[in-house]
Amino acid sequence: METGQQERMNIVIVGHVDHGKSTVIGRLLADTGSLPQGKLEAVKLACERNAKPFEYAFLLDALKDEQAQGITIDTARVFFKSDKRHYIIIDAPGHIEFLKNMITGAARAEAALLVIDAQEGIRENSRRHGYLMSMLGIKQLIVLVNKMDLVEYSQAAFDTICSEYAAFLEQIHVHPKYIIPIAAREGENLIHASSRMPWYNGPSVLQAMDAMQKEIPDVSKALRFPVQDIYKFTAENDDRRIVAGTIATGEVRVGDAVTFYPSQKKSRIKSIEGFNVPSQNSAQSGQATGVTLETQIYIRSGEVMAKESDPAPFVSSAFRAHVFWLGKRPLIKEKRYKLKIGTHRVPVYVKTVHRVLDASSLDADSDKQQLDRHDVGDVEFEAVRPLAFDLSGEFEQTGRFVLVDEYDIAGGGIIVAAVQASTTATETFAARRNFAWVRGDISPSHRAIRYRQEPIFVLIVGAPGTGKAAIATALEKDLFERDQVVYYLGVDNITLGLDRDVSGQFEDRDEHIRRIGETAHLMMDAGLIVISTISDVDDGDVKRLMALASPFRTLVAAVGEWPFEWADSAIMMLAEHDTAAVDRIVGALRPFLHS
Residue type, 147: K
Q: What is the CA radius of gyration of the chain?
A: 31
**For residue 9, what are the β-bridge partners?**
87
Look at the alpha carbons of 531, 533, 539, 540 in this order and tell me if their dihedral is positive or negative. Answer: negative
The whole-angstrom separation of Cα 530 and Cα 544 is: 16
In this predicted structure, what is the pLDDT of residue 67?
40
Given the residues 535, 550, 569, 595, select the one marked as catalytic: 535
Q: How far is CA 133 from the centre of its chain?
A: 18
The whole-angstrom separation of Cα 494 and Cα 512 is: 8
- Contact 412/529 with Cβ under 8 angstroms? no
The whole-angstrom separation of Cα 484 and Cα 57 is: 85
pTM score, whole prediction: 0.73
Q: How far is CA 517 from the centre of its chain?
A: 28
Decide: residue 63, CB within 10 A, 0-12 exposed, 13-18 middle, 19+ buried: buried
- Contact 297/270 with Cβ under 8 angstroms? no
- From first CA to last CA, the distance across the chain in angstroms is 85
Residues ≥6 apart with Cβ < 8 Å to 295: 267, 268
Residue type, 52: K
The whole-angstrom separation of Cα 243 and Cα 189 is: 55
In this predicted structure, what is the pLDDT of residue 409?
85
The whole-angstrom separation of Cα 297 and Cα 564 is: 10
C-alpha atoms less than 13 angstroms from C-alpha of 318 in its C-beta half-sphere:
15
Long-range CB contacts for residues 339-342, cutoff 8 Å, separation at least 24: 339/381, 339/383, 339/387, 339/401, 339/402, 339/403, 339/404, 340/401, 340/402, 340/403, 340/404, 341/387, 341/389, 341/398, 341/400, 341/401, 342/226, 342/248, 342/302, 342/304, 342/397, 342/398
In this predicted structure, what is the pLDDT of residue 425?
76
In this predicted structure, what is the pLDDT of residue 148?
96
The whole-angstrom separation of Cα 149 and Cα 182 is: 8
Q: How far is CA 227 from the centre of its chain?
A: 16
Q: Which regions of 16-149 does DSSP assign to beta strands (E)? A: 77-81, 86-91, 111-117, 141-146
443 among known catalytic residues: no
Q: Which regions of 95-235 does DSSP assign to beta strands (E)? A: 111-117, 141-146, 178-181, 225-232
Which is it for strands 8-15 and 111-117: parallel, antiparallel or unpaired?
parallel
Q: Identify which of 8, 9, 416, 395 has the alpha carbon closest to the alpha carbon of residue 218.
A: 395
* Run of H or E including 493: helix 491-496
Q: Identify which of 226, 228, 232 has the alpha carbon closest to the alpha carbon of residue 296.
A: 232
pLDDT tens for the chain, 595 residues long, are 344 457 888 888 888 777 888 889 888 888 888 777 777 778 788 777 877 777 777 776 655 544 433 333 333 567 888 888 999 888 766 666 777 776 766 667 888 999 999 999 988 878 888 887 887 778 899 999 999 999 999 999 999 999 999 998 888 888 899 999 999 989 999 999 999 999 999 999 999 999 999 878 888 899 999 999 998 876 666 777 899 999 999 999 999 999 999 988 899 999 998 877 777 899 999 899 999 999 888 888 899 999 999 999 999 989 999 998 888 899 999 888 999 998 999 899 999 999 898 766 777 788 899 999 888 899 999 998 889 999 988 888 899 999 999 888 888 889 999 998 766 778 888 888 888 888 888 988 899 999 999 999 999 988 888 888 899 999 999 999 999 999 999 877 776 677 666 654 545 677 888 889 999 999 999 999 999 998 877 778 888 899 899 999 999 988 876 666 665 656 677 765 566 889 889 988 999 998 6
